[in-house]
């Protein structure tokens, strides 16, 4: 199941993330793909708000820290694998333990992950068009994620 | 008190030996030493996070360079957080086991308080109180440092860290990653007024930062100027760096004035940027404020600053116990 939407400002991207966050009721694995400056952190800021992460936690880029964790109605784990060189390095950051946990796990730059290491319920792709709008695509796998996606676009 | 410091919160595995709170006998950082040779010396990003492989050789190297033996070590300080839990655990568990086996006092150090202590390790440290900016790839925080143990977090970034913005702009300009230092070099050859990028001050009376809008503005400019990008690169770098410097300088000086401090300091990887140091020092001196910097080799992550902070904590009786654990993030220091 695939859905696509255009956002015209960072605030709209954030609101879309928030709406998705409000619909999520339990652990889910999400991949988040898009170029530098496409709005990935902005989207996750909204997602965190929708998941009930308190405002006192700033949702910042995980590029350096690799993993940022936040408490919420459902806990959130925001990862960025940009700086990792290969799937071997996932061992060094305790990737298997993270994947096993019952949280919202959203992973930027998931390219180095080998098949079978994690199954994404939802893939989100942010693309910048010629007018600098963001074309955001959602692809759901499985019944739960498909249900969330249907509710996102009612 | 001879103290061993250990740091493994992010990319670097580091160890250092201090003879007291200010005297560094050795400071070893994994990416700077021959530890890499084991891996062929060609994959620094990969090897750098192999803390578990690097920790024992790095500690040995620090002890050797200090000209002491393991028996001379009287205390241990180790980074407890914030950072990557898997990385922190390597240094923390090593320190815990080392101290337990030798029956030594040991303590866990907040990495950011360590960076503040790097300023105190300079030959000419500031007197308290001072306002400090800790800016690196992972952090952009302003503190009011009132005493050896009193750090008030006044502001922090809401999205990207300052060092991260440099590295990402380098990537967008095709200068490789990480390329913060390359951006600084190119900026010195460009005209900072040629391309005007936005300065995000958020609330001008507040001390939080935001650099993602600047990053997007650079991205947009690159998209719109693909045809003559090559000749524009130094000007883009200069315009970008000027935007970052304006905000960092303004907020740091503003923080000092808000707390009545006559001294400011910068620490973390970004404080090694000499253009920034020159600029902030000039802005500050106009307002009767003086800028202090750590020794250049202590700007990035290192264990000497951890040992210095740990030395103080142990002196004050703040020890760790075997059942204590690392932490990934703190809301407040």
Strand ordering across the sheet containing B290-292: B150-156, B140-147, B130-135, B263-267, B290-292
A-contacting residues in B 96-155 (Cβ below 8 Å)? 136-138
A37, burial (CB in 10 Å: exposed 0-12, middle 13-18, buried 19+): buried
The list of chain A residues with pLDDT below 70 reads none
Task: Name the architecture of domain A2-152.
Answer: 3-Layer(aba) Sandwich (3.40)
- Please give the residue of chain B at the shortest CA–CA distance from A82: B177
Give B142's contacts in chain A (Cβ within 8 Å). Answer: none
Q: Mutating which of B39, B42, B49 best tests the A interface, going by the most A Cβ atoms within 10 A?
A: B49
Query: What is the pLDDT, as a whole number, of residue B254?
Result: 97
For residue B242, give both structure tokens: 């000027």
Averaged pLDDT of chain B? 91
Q: Is A131 on the interface with B (CB under 8 A)?
A: no
- Please give the residue of chain B at the shortest CA–CA distance from A94: B86
For residue B23, give both structure tokens: 């005297």
Give A66's contacts in chain B (Cβ within 8 Å). Answer: 84
Q: How many residues are given for chain A?
A: 154
Domains of chain A: which residue ranges? 2-152
Specify the DSSP element, H or E, that contains A77: strand A76-80
Number of other CB atoms surrounding residue B10 within 10 Å = 24
Tens digits of residue pLDDT in B25-66? 999 998 765 444 344 333 344 444 688 888 999 999 999 999
The β-bridge partners of B133 are B142, B266
Q: Is A69 on the interface with B (CB under 8 A)?
A: yes
Query: What is the pLDDT, as a whole number, of residue A51?
Result: 98
- Nearest-Cα distance to chain A for B91, in Å, is 13
Tens digits of residue pLDDT in B96-139? 999 999 999 999 999 999 999 999 999 999 999 999 999 999 99
Tens digits of residue pLDDT in B139-197? 999 999 999 999 999 999 999 999 999 999 998 998 877 778 899 999 999 999 999 99
Tens digits of residue pLDDT in B212-252? 999 999 999 999 998 999 999 999 999 999 999 999 999 99
For residue B331, give both structure tokens: 């809301």
Q: What phi, psi does A97 have (nearest 5°)?
A: -65, -40
Number of other CB atoms surrounding residue B250 within 10 Å = 15
Q: Please indicate, yes or no, whether the overall pTM of this predicted structure exceeds 0.80.
A: yes
Query: Contact at 8 Å (CB) between A77 and A102?
Result: no
Nearest beta carbon to residue A64 from set B46, B164, B328: B164
Give B215's contacts in chain A (Cβ within 8 Å). Answer: 36-37
Q: What is the DSSP string of B55-86?
A: HHHHHHHHHHHHT--GGG--EEEEEEESS-HH
Query: Contact at 8 Å (CB) between B170 and B183?
Result: yes
Rounded distance, CA A135 to CA B253, Å? 40
Nearest beta carbon to residue A64 from set B46, B161, B208: B161
């Amino acid at each position: 199941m695939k859905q696509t939407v255009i956002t015209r400002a960072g605030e709209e991207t954030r609101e879309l993330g928030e709406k998705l966050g409000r619909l999520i009721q339990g652990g889910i694995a999400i991949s988040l793909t898009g170029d530098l400056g496409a709005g990935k952190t902005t989207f996750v800021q909204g997602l965190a708000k929708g998941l009930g992460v308190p405002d006192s936690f700033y949702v910042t880029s995980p590029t350096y820290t690799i993993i940022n964790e936040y408490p919420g109605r459902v806990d959130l784990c925001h990862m960025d694998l940009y700086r990792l060189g290969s799937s071997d390095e996932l061992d060094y950051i305790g990737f298997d333990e993270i994947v096993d946990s019952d949280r919202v796990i959203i992973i930027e730059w998931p390219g180095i992950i080998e098949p079978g290491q994690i199954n994404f319920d939802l893939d989100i792709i942010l693309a910048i068009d010629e007018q600098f709008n963001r074309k955001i695509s959602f692809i759901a796998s499985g019944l739960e994620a498909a249900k969330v996606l249907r509710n996102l676009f009612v | 008190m001879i103290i061993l410091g250990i740091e493994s919160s992010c990319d670097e595995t580091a160890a250092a030996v201090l003879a007291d709170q200010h005297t560094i006998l050795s400071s070893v950082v994994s990416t700077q030493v021959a530890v890499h040779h084991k891996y062929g010396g060609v994959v620094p990003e990969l090897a750098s996070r192999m803390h578990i492989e690097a920790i024992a050789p790095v500690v040995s190297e620090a002890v050797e360079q200090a000209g002491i033996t393991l028996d001379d070590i009287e205390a241990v300080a180790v980074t407890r957080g914030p950072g990557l839990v898997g990385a922190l655990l390597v240094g923390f568990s090593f320190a815990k086991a080392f101290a337990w086996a030798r029956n030594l006092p040991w303590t866990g150090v907040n990495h950011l308080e360590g960076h503040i202590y790097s300023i105190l390790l300079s030959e000419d440290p500031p007197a308290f109180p001072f306002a400090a900016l800790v800016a690196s790839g992972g952090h952009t925080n302003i503190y009011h440092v009132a005493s050896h143990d009193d750090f008030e977090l006044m502001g922090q970034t809401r999205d990207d860290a300052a060092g991260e913005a440099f590295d990402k702009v380098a990537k967008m300009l095709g200068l490789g990653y990480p390329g913060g230092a390359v951006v600084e070099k190119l900026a010195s050859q460009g005209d900072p007024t040629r391309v005007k990028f936005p300065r995000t001050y958020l609330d001008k009376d507040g001390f939080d930062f935001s650099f993602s809008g600047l990053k997007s503005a650079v991205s947009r400019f690159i998209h719109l100027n693909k045809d003559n990008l090559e000749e524009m690169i130094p000007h883009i770098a200069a315009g970008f760096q000027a935007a970052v410097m304006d905000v960092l300088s303004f907020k740091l000086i503003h923080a000092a004035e808000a707390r009545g401090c006559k001294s400011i300091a910068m620490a973390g990887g970004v404080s090694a940027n000499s253009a920034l140091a020159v600029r902030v020092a000039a802005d500050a001196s106009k307002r009767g404020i003086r800028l202090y910097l750590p020794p250049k080799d202590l700007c990035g992550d290192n264990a000497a600053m951890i040992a210095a902070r740990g030395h103080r904590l142990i002196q004050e009786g703040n020890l760790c116990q075997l059942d204590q654990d690392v932490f990934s993030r703190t809301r407040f220091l």
